[in-house]
A = this chain, B = another copy of it.
Amino acid sequence: MIAEILSVGTELLMGQIANTDAQYISRRLSELGVSLYRHTTVGDNPGRVKEALREALARADVVITTGGLGPTEDDLTKEMVAEVFGLEMALDEVSLHAIEAFMERVGHPMAENNRKQAWFPAGATVMPNACGTAPGCIVERGDKAVAVLPGPPHEMKDMFERRLAPWLARRGGAHIESRFLRIFGIGESAVENRLRDLFHADNPTLALYCGPGEVQARVTARAADAESARAMIAPVAEEIRRRLGNHVYGEGMDNSIERAVFERLRDRGETVSFAESCTGGLVAARLVSVPGASAVLGEAHVTYCDAAKARVLGVREETLRRFTAVSAPCAREMAEGARRVSGADWAAATTGYAGPDGGADGTPAGTVFIAVAGPDGATVEQCRFNGSREFVRAVAASWALNALRLRMEALS
């Protein structure tokens, strides 16, 4: 089954609101196994609504509209559906009574233009509105159908879940499942190269999404039921894990590298501290963003100047003099110092040039040393990130968290 979404509302074309209705319906259609190839948005204009409806019906089996169901003159979605299908408008007595009851409940007099909301294309299946006055409807004509939903998101969602989703599932008879693999420490192009042949499959499909320093792989299968879809995904997900090794740090749309670190620390019953220079508190802030972080983090230190590195963390004056603060020895002493002063099991440290300037000695901006100190000693990596100051700091913070994860995994 192929669907399209047609959003009606001048407020969308004015940019007054984002089209979150389209996002919600899209996500639910994908979960329901309904193919969706296009969204269209038009204003409250009869000619353009009709034109967009005709075009969408030429391509899709089901057109889902949102908006244009209000009591005012420029709300005309149902009327345009009737015109396109060559149907008269008919009064639905049940809806009229429901609207009267609703207005009485909220203590407003029933206005004449509210009666308009009880009229539908003849033969339509009315979808009552549990959260407002505008009922929706499903209008079928041959093998095509238009489902008309209200625009306000809470009314739309309620009607979608109670009325339209069951109707779509009955009509469709397929099920969609997806798995999201979270990948760190390898670029999007490199991931694509390693997985190239897997992109050619039709079902399950593989897609990559790119965040700062991080890649997500989505594997989606369509089958008669959820269990079969999951069984189709499993070998593809396993193959991705095999090819990418420990670059895959977890699964799930809402996962993150800080959550992965938090869970590993919590499961091990261990704690961590941070010593941050160029990231300036970002690593700690990322871990603290996970609810319950106090179980694994007691303290962290931003030591931005040399004096603070020496006084707070015990970095030796000689190290700073001989190698400068942006050096592997300094990063190592920062991590060791943070672990010592906090008494934590682990500590990670960052020191580098976030930019726009590099070091006076010619070290380029984007150079960051990342150290991890743990029960089995300390390690340091020299990284080179390219991008804005903001990007370098964000990726350096993620990289420090990932380095910590890899050290914990290596030890277990």
Partner-B contacts on A (CB < 8 A):
7, 10-20, 22-30, 36-43, 45, 48, 52, 55, 70-74, 102, 105-108, 111, 113-114, 131, 187-189, 192-193, 199, 207-210, 218, 253, 274, 276, 278-285, 287-289, 291, 293-294, 297-305, 307-308, 312, 342, 354-357, 364, 366, 384-386, 388-390, 393
Contact yes or no, A73 B22, CB < 8 A: no
Cβ contacts under 8 Å, A19 to chain B = 18-19, 22-23, 39
Contact yes or no, A303 B299, CB < 8 A: yes
Question: Which of B28, B107, B287 contacts A280 (CB under 8 A)?
Answer: B287
Cβ contacts under 8 Å, A29 to chain B = 15
Contact yes or no, A24 B13, CB < 8 A: no
Expressed in whole angstroms, the minimum distance between the Cβ of A385 and any Cβ of chain B is 7
Cβ contacts under 8 Å, A354 to chain B = 288
Quick one: closest B residue to A13, CB to CB? Answer: B36
Contact yes or no, A280 B291, CB < 8 A: no
Please tell me how many copies of the chain the complex holds: 2
Q: CA of A106 to CA of B382 in the docked complex: distance in angstroms?
A: 12
Inter-chain pairs besides A15-B30, A38-B40, A72-B189, 4 sampled, C-beta below 8 Å: A7-B39, A74-B199, A280-B300, A291-B356
Q: CA of A76 to CA of B121 in the docked complex: distance in angstroms?
A: 41
Expressed in whole angstroms, the minimum distance between the Cβ of A186 and any Cβ of chain B is 11
Contact yes or no, A20 B18, CB < 8 A: yes
Q: CA of A377 to CA of B138 in the docked complex: distance in angstroms?
A: 55
Cβ contacts under 8 Å, A287 to chain B = 280
Contact yes or no, B285 A192, CB < 8 A: no
Contact yes or no, B304 A301, CB < 8 A: no
Cβ contacts under 8 Å, A43 to chain B = 37
Instruction: Knowing A11-B209, A189-B72 are in contact, say whether A288-B305 is a contact too (CB < 8 A).
Output: no
Q: CA of A18 to CA of B52 in the docked complex: distance in angstroms?
A: 21
- Residue of A30, A71, A300 with highest tally of chain B CB at under 10 A: A300
The 3 A-B pairs with the shortest beta carbon distances in the complex, nearest first, are: A280-B288, A15-B27, A281-B281
Contact yes or no, A192 B14, CB < 8 A: no
Contact yes or no, B301 A301, CB < 8 A: yes
Question: Which of B23, B71, B210 contacts A17 (CB under 8 A)?
Answer: B23
Contact yes or no, A192 B113, CB < 8 A: yes
Q: CA of A349 to CA of B299 in the docked complex: distance in angstroms?
A: 14
Q: CA of A18 to CA of B193 in the docked complex: distance in angstroms?
A: 23
Q: CA of A308 to CA of B72 in the docked complex: distance in angstroms?
A: 45
Cβ contacts under 8 Å, A207 to chain B = 10-11, 74
Quick one: closest B residue to A31, CB to CB? Answer: B15
Contact yes or no, A342 B15, CB < 8 A: no
Cβ contacts under 8 Å, A111 to chain B = 189, 193
Contact yes or no, A16 B22, CB < 8 A: no
Expressed in whole angstroms, the minimum distance between the Cβ of A24 and any Cβ of chain B is 7
Q: CA of A16 to CA of B29 in the docked complex: distance in angstroms?
A: 12
Question: Which of B38, B71, B389 contacts A289 (CB under 8 A)?
Answer: B389
Q: Can you give 7 contacting A-B residue pairs, CB < 8 Å?
A: A12-B39, A13-B36, A13-B37, A280-B289, A281-B302, A288-B302, A299-B308
Contact yes or no, B298 A301, CB < 8 A: no
Contact yes or no, A13 B25, CB < 8 A: no
- Residue of A193, A209, A364 with highest tally of chain B CB at under 10 A: A209
Question: Which of B36, B106, B307, B366 contacts A386 (CB under 8 A)?
Answer: B106
